[in-house]
A and B are shown apart, each in its own frame.
Chain A
Amino acid sequence: MDIIRGRELTVGYGESAVLCDLTFGIPAGQITAIVGISGSGKSTLLKTLAGLLPPLAGGFDFAGRAIDYRSESSLSFLYDKIGVLYQGGALLNGLNLFENVALPIRMRYPKMPEEMVRDMVHASLAQVELADSVEKFPAELSGGMAKRGGLARALVLDPDLVFCDEPSSGLDPITSQRLDDLLLHLRKTFRMTLVVVTHELRSIERVADRVLLIDGGRLRFNGEYREMLASDDPFVQTFLLRKDRHDDA
């Protein structure tokens, strides 16, 4: 069953469309990678699916419900069910790691007892191996730690789906692999749905069950990763570094 279903979705900024007429499904319980070359519109699509950027045309359903950007309750429904890991972690600089991860709990359930908040935050930080850094402020964290902190915050309320925007970018191969392993662990253990925006081939290979490949403002490929490997589309082959260059742009 698809947790997200795009319906002729057109996304972009102002009046200029970046991606046009996308119709696709993102199945629940799997890791779907949205991939494409730099500037292809991957992050723009993620912003629209995460409730940050209204579509220019068309729309999408989340868990069977059409998301209406004009309706506060519709967006609240979406926000209640998702978590987002941003490129740099996007932790609030004025709060330490504990308070950053506790923020979604405090904002959504202001009357939750402090003991419960503490337990939930520690469980989430332990998942990302940051249980020892609770007192640190974002400025004291490395890039990889900030991303893991951002992931802990995205996971703390056990969302149905987590969006990850370029989780491996700017990380060394070992930290990047640890983050990928963590995403695989979340999918396997909690049957969590993850949507990963990336252009890192190694990361796609390691984590992706399905791939949405974007090129030239349209969906170029939508299917399982192993089907992508077998695709004879010149752009897909080029993207997978199986061909030097493609002429079919």
Chain B
Amino acid sequence: MTELGPTAPSAETVPLPKRLRAPEVAAVLEDLERRADVGLLTLDFGAVEEFDSSTLAFLHYVRCQPARLTMINIREDLARAEEGFLHWPHPAEETQVEPAASRLTRSLTTVADGYIRRGRSLGSFLTMFGDEVYHIGGYLRERKGVYPGEIWNQLFFMGYGSFPIVSLLLFLVGVTISITSANQLKIFGAQVYLADLIGYAMLRELVPLMVGVILAGKVGAAITAELASMTVLEEVDALKTMGVVPERFLMVPRLVAITLAVPLLVALADVVGIMGGIVVARVMFQMTPTAFLTEMVTSVDWTDFAWGLIKTVVFGWAVVVGAGFKGLTVGRSAEEVGRATTESVVLSVTMIIIIDCIFAFVLY
């Protein structure tokens, strides 16, 4: 037996069990906490035969509190193990308290680094946008660099795959906006103008915005997740070493597909959104569909549909390029795939709102 540390004769002695591993150490620590007001305590390690790293950490902990705790009867093997344990690096001991000024500097540096990184990221994004225009031009000229049939696959996914959700949401948006507006219009006896309001709002604003947001959530997230996984699994590297340009091979089919899918989605969304209005007008004001449509065409024309369509196509491009950018610039871990997907949706929705705002200034 080795006796380490001074032993006060008046101290209360706490015998420790034969097995002193993590659960028992936890129980002893609880016991010591209960005896906090006792004063000096002597821990008797004489019976301890089974121990693990938590026992060694416990020894180190006790040794750091000589004013309150002391130890006796430490066996040779436990003392040797503790000796080895003390030679491991102890992060807590190596950590130095940073001066407050240094912490402030580091915080400011972190914030500044964040802005610089975002600035660079914006630059890379705009470069990618330009590159994609170049690649689309290149594809249309040369008809190569894209996997045969991929445009059709993407068109099917983005267009046909989005039909149900676009139909459902835009119909409900049409109904909701109609009910909300109808109650206000009723106050002024202007029920007939519900048709004008719904037609104009749907064609010009709500359909482009809602379709854009649906594309950001459904198509954008899927593109980012797919491309980010491909990047992490070295599939993008494999494309490069095959002499394939990933930005063309992966992005051009998606950009062409979204350009073709959006007009179909917008037309569908316009129809179901207005149908929502027709249903509400019929139920609340007994207005016939014919009367609704006749009134609607007095205030909207094909230019409203065209501007809505142009806006949505631009939203679609922003979604695809933003999603592709996030997917292709992801790091190398699975965790980053999830983060990139979330960031892609946030980026897409932000871009949609900004572009919509710019259109509002230009058009109205």
| Chain A bound to chain B | yes
A binding-site residues for B, Cβ under 8 Å:
47, 50-52, 76, 79-80, 82-84, 86-88, 90-95, 103-104, 106-108, 110, 150, 153
Q: Are A90 and B243 in contact (CB under 8 A)?
A: no
Interface size class of B (residues with CB under 8 A): 10 to 19
Q: Are B241 and A51 in contact (CB under 8 A)?
A: yes
Q: Are B237 and A107 in contact (CB under 8 A)?
A: no
**Interface readout for B217-236 with A: 1 if CB under 8 Å, 0 if not?**
00000000000011001110
Given A79-B240, A80-B243, A108-B243, are A90 and B148 also a contact pair (CB < 8 Å)? Answer: no
Q: Are A86 and B147 in contact (CB under 8 A)?
A: no
CB of B244 closer than 8 Å to a CB of A:
yes
How distant is A16 from chain B, measured CB to nearest CB, in Å?
15
| B244 contacts across to A, CB distance below 8 A | 103-104, 107
For this complex, 20 residue pairs linking A to B, each with C-beta atoms less than 8 Å apart, are A47-B237, A50-B241, A51-B240, A52-B237, A52-B240, A79-B240, A80-B243, A83-B241, A84-B238, A84-B241, A86-B237, A87-B234, A88-B234, A91-B235, A94-B153, A104-B242, A107-B144, A107-B243, A107-B249, A150-B238
Given A92-B230, A110-B144, are A103 and B242 also a contact pair (CB < 8 Å)? Answer: yes
B binding-site residues for A, Cβ under 8 Å:
143-145, 147-148, 153, 229-230, 233-235, 237-238, 240-244, 249
Q: Are A90 and B237 in contact (CB under 8 A)?
A: yes
Tell me the complex Cα distance, A91–B235, Å. Answer: 6
Tell me the complex Cα distance, A70–B240, Å. Answer: 15
Q: Are B144 and A82 in contact (CB under 8 A)?
A: no
Neighbour of B241 across the interface among A82, A87, A88, CB < 8 A? A82
Tell me the complex Cα distance, A93–B238, Å. Answer: 12
Q: Are B233 and A79 in contact (CB under 8 A)?
A: no
| A83 contacts across to B, CB distance below 8 A | 241
Q: Are A90 and B242 in contact (CB under 8 A)?
A: no
How distant is A69 from chain B, measured CB to nearest CB, in Å?
12
How distant is B227 from chain A, measured CB to nearest CB, in Å?
12
| A107 contacts across to B, CB distance below 8 A | 144-145, 147, 242-244, 249
How distant is B98 from chain A, measured CB to nearest CB, in Å?
24
Known: A51-B240, A90-B234, A103-B244. 6 other contacts (CB 8 A): A79-B242, A92-B230, A92-B235, A93-B229, A103-B147, A110-B144
| B230 contacts across to A, CB distance below 8 A | 92-93
How distant is A100 from chain B, measured CB to nearest CB, in Å?
9
Tell me the complex Cα distance, A95–B237, Å. Answer: 16
